[in-house]
Amino acid sequence: MTGFNGEFIINWSSWWQDLFILLSIFSLLLLLVGGSYLIISDLSKEERQGTLNFIRLSPQPAQTILWGKLLGVPVLFYLMLLLTLPLSIYAGLAGQLSPATLVCYYSIVVGSCLFFYSLSLMFGLVTTWLGSLQAWVGSGTFFLILSTYTLMNTGGAEVNNVSIWPRILFPTLFVPGLETSVMLRSSGSLQLSHLQWFYLPIGLITIGTTAFTLVLYGVGTYWIWQVLKRRFRTTHATILTKVQSYTLTAILQGAMLGFMVQPGLTSSSYNIEVAWIYMLTLNLCLGLFLMAALMPQRTVLVEWARYRYVRRSERQSGLRQWLKELTWGENSPAFLAIVLNLLILAIAQGVWIGLTFTAETANGSVIRGQALLGTVLTLGILLVYAAIVQLCLLSASPRRTVLAAGAIVVAMLIPPIILAFLDLAPNSYSGAPFWLFTAFPWVAVEYTLRSTFLFACVSQCLATTLLNLQFARRLHRLGESASKALLTPSTQVL
């Protein structure tokens, strides 16, 4: 900018603040994406070379070995960022950022690195079927999400309780100066300082937001390390136990409800519908994760079926014991556990719908009915996907994990693509009934009749039942064959 005499006037405070923001964003991208790539690549390389199995035989605890990788593999990035740290601190102070603000920000950076590096370790241990693509897929996903949220935060996108989850897990949202220099200039956006969780003003002060975010990082890191300790020694174990899945689902739903329940949401039916779709989308992702986390491998299921076959022949198991194994047992099929997890999702979704879609809202009762119908159909389609996954994982193919993942991708993407190609829009009464059978049935609930909804629910129940019956028959046949192969040689000796 120029002054009255034509001289250039530089706002050094703003200049230093912009430099601090650029350094922070670049450092975060380099640290999180680059570090994640190195960690996943190191695990993938050791898995292919067979040295990881040798390390598993070490008497050292799994935590010690994994901590060594977490601290040692990205050490070059640590050194590079330590060299730029003095310039970053000086730019922040020269940009009139308080020392307390900088301490809070760097605390969030450390917490985010611990969380995402732990997540990278887990990704490297549970996705060995990706082979050499592990590092590219994992770090590419991190880069895509992180860069997307960074552009949203610097582009005047609306920041409120509905869209903040799970954006709060990404540290680019907390870069000091980013909100005041960009976000407050966008009309209609809600400041980060307005952030609430169950009406608690956690965003009112910087230290409150920092403490809450660090708690989220801590809880997330704790659960990730439960998976790491479980999978490092026993590679065929499921990612989570059934008990852990129930607890984790309840915690996630509670955290999500805290962000979704906010004052002023009922003043606009559009905001309510956006929040509802956002919540359904997150729960859809959670349901897919539960399928990957709870489904046992084929060998584990065959062993469990053989055990069940022997006990049934000895009259030692009843219905109560069978239900107990399906609900709590680690080696039993996971479909009932997924049903119970989805029931927790349904309860949380129903509570939010009951609290939000009030009579004071415009067309509150109508929107509430549509929300309930969309929730039921979404959970129903997740049950169908779960039945497909467990049937694919029981296949004799050595690439059954890829087969299951491909089946879900096809089931989710192909129907919408076909409907779009046929020009059957979800907001038209001719195309809406077909969209009820896709992974996104909520887009068509408003334009369908109740009879069509009932037909869709019955179809989902029928498909789930048939798939589970086929799975039960195949599992019983495998268990019977394994039992005969085990018992026949001893019978011949006698």
- Cα–Cα distance between 326 and 52 in angstroms, integer? 32
Mean pLDDT for the stretch of residues 223-236: 87
Directed axis angle between helix 242-260 and helix 269-294, to 10°?
Answer: 170
Higher-confidence residue: 427 or 455? Answer: 455
**Residue 265 confidence (pLDDT):** 54
| Spans of all domains in the chain | 12-179+189-235, 258-487
494 falls in which pLDDT band (50, 70, 90)? very low
Whether residue 465 has pLDDT greater than 50: yes
Mean pLDDT for the stretch of residues 193-209: 79
Check if the beta carbon of residue 97 is closer than 8 Å to that of residue 176.
Answer: yes
Q: Tell me: the pLDDT tens digits for 172-183?
A: 778 876 655 543
Check if the beta carbon of residue 395 is closer than 8 Å to that of residue 403.
Answer: yes
Whether residue 42 has pLDDT greater than 70: yes
Whether residue 401 has pLDDT greater than 50: yes
Angle at 249 between CA 208 and CA 230, to 5 degrees: 100
Tokens of 376: 């039921």
Please confirm whether the linkage preceding 166 is cis (ω < 30° from 0): yes
Q: Tell me: the pLDDT tens digits for 404-417?
A: 989 999 999 999 99
**Residue 185 confidence (pLDDT):** 42
270 falls in which pLDDT band (50, 70, 90)? low
444 falls in which pLDDT band (50, 70, 90)? confident
Mean pLDDT for the stretch of residues 219-242: 88
Q: Tell me: the pLDDT tens digits for 280-337?
A: 888 898 999 999 899 988 888 888 887 766 555 545 556 777 788 888 888 888 899 9
- Cα–Cα distance between 180 and 191 in angstroms, integer? 9
* Run of H or E including 10: none
- Cα–Cα distance between 219 and 190 in angstroms, integer? 27
User: Phi, psi at residue 425, to the nearest 5°?
Assistant: -75, 150
Alpha helices in 29-74 (DSSP H): 35-49, 51-56, 62-72
Whether residue 381 has pLDDT greater than 90: yes
Higher-confidence residue: 360 or 393? Answer: 393
Q: Tell me: the pLDDT tens digits for 79-113?
A: 988 888 999 899 888 888 888 888 989 999 999 99
Check if the beta carbon of residue 342 is closer than 8 Å to that of residue 386.
Answer: no
432: closest CA among 422, 420, 423, 445?
445
- Cα–Cα distance between 262 and 274 in angstroms, integer? 14
**Residue 489 confidence (pLDDT):** 54
Whether residue 388 has pLDDT greater than 90: yes
Mean pLDDT for the stretch of residues 213-220: 92
**Residue 153 confidence (pLDDT):** 54
- Cα–Cα distance between 255 and 271 in angstroms, integer? 19
Helix (H, G, I), strand (E, B) or coil at 8: strand
Whether residue 60 has pLDDT greater than 90: no
User: Phi, psi at residue 367, to the nearest 5°?
Assistant: -65, -35
Tokens of 260: 């979704």
Would you give the distance in Å from CA 490 to the centre of its chain? 49
Q: Tell me: the pLDDT tens digits for 283-293?
A: 898 999 999 89
